[in-house]
Amino acid sequence: MDSTDELLARYHEHGFVILQGILGGAEIDALREALQPYLDLEQAGRNDFEGERTRRVYSLVGRGEVFERTVEHPAVLALVDALLQPGYLLTASQAICIDPGETPQPVHYDDVFYPLARPRPAVSVSTIWALDDFTAAGGGTEVIPGSHAWGDERVAASYGKTGDGKTGAPSQAADIEARLVPVEMPAGSLVFFAGTLLHRGGANRTTASRRAFSHQYCEPWARQQENFTLSIPNERVRRMSPRVRQLLGYSILPPFMGQLAGRHPEKSLAADYVNSLVVDDEELERSEKV
């Protein structure tokens, strides 16, 4: 594996970098096995963006220890450490299974939610981990190398002002099509890319599903896409490592961001935790009676 510095140099130049063979065969099997029951419960997506032949499993980090380990994988966190401020958070964690017959997803970039002028540093960084081989025909992610550095005007000219994936003029759409490059990598590899990089899930013209999962990380001052402190039951969070809990949002960006009624949010995970608002209201009720 290349050094973190080499990977970062490629990331800065192209907006993405592939980490090949990061998972061994046994780990891939364990992830596939843990994921399958959740995939079996899922229906296809609700729109073209989620994908009408794509199944997604949200809050994946809360669905098994095997997924938690990937969220805090040292090779990935070494890159995120260099790109985001200390205290960065997990913003999204989902499995994405692109089934046969799926059409290409609209081109987009992942930190479009933050209304800050481009070009700019990415507010978030994304990973997509392959659980099946990624191929051009089989739904491999497609990226536009270098587009992480594009300004607003160029992005808007490409597919519409809002960055919501609507296509621009046909000639511009054709230009975008010509620039898309498929990420081809074996199962157990991942593509790491800037939240500013234009990309999409590819069409699946094969007869096999393309299983993958994506963890995304954001600056500690940015709102997370997924509300993990609500989606993942406390009893599961308690079993997680301190690092994963911190990434989910059980953490403070000094001095106050993320506080829980003036206290550290980790306190809410204690077995004997009682919400301080409830305590205060009970106290008020008692004092009104005397």
Ligand X SMILES: O=C(O)CCC(=O)C(=O)O
Sign of CA dihedral 227, 108, 77, 35: positive
Q: How far is the CB of 259 from ligand X (least distance, A)?
A: 31
Amino acid in the structure at residue 92? A
Starting at the earlier edge strand, list the strands of the sheet with 181-182: 181-182, 142-143, 199-200
Q: Find out whether 236 and 248 touch, Cβ atoms under 8 Å.
A: no
Q: How far is the CB of 179 from ligand X (least distance, A)?
A: 16
Q: How far is the CB of 185 from ligand X (least distance, A)?
A: 11
- Buried-exposed string 42-64: b where 16+ CB fall within 10 A, e elsewhere: eeebeeeeebebbbbbbbbbbbb
Residue closer to ligand X, measured from CB, 180 or 232: 180
Q: How far is the CB of 235 from ligand X (least distance, A)?
A: 29
Residue closer to ligand X, measured from CB, 68 or 132: 132
Cα torsion for 154, 82, 79, 232, to the nearest 10°?
A: -90
Backbone dihedral angles phi then psi of residue 88, each to the nearest 5 degrees: -55, 160
Residue closer to ligand X, measured from CB, 127 or 251: 127
Residue closer to ligand X, measured from CB, 128 or 232: 128
Sign of CA dihedral 125, 198, 119, 149: positive
Q: How far is the CB of 94 from ligand X (least distance, A)?
A: 8
Residue closer to ligand X, measured from CB, 201 or 265: 201
Residue closer to ligand X, measured from CB, 143 or 240: 143
Q: How far is the CB of 239 from ligand X (least distance, A)?
A: 28
Length of the chain: 290
Binding site for ligand X (CB under 6 A): 96, 105, 110, 128, 141, 199, 201, 212
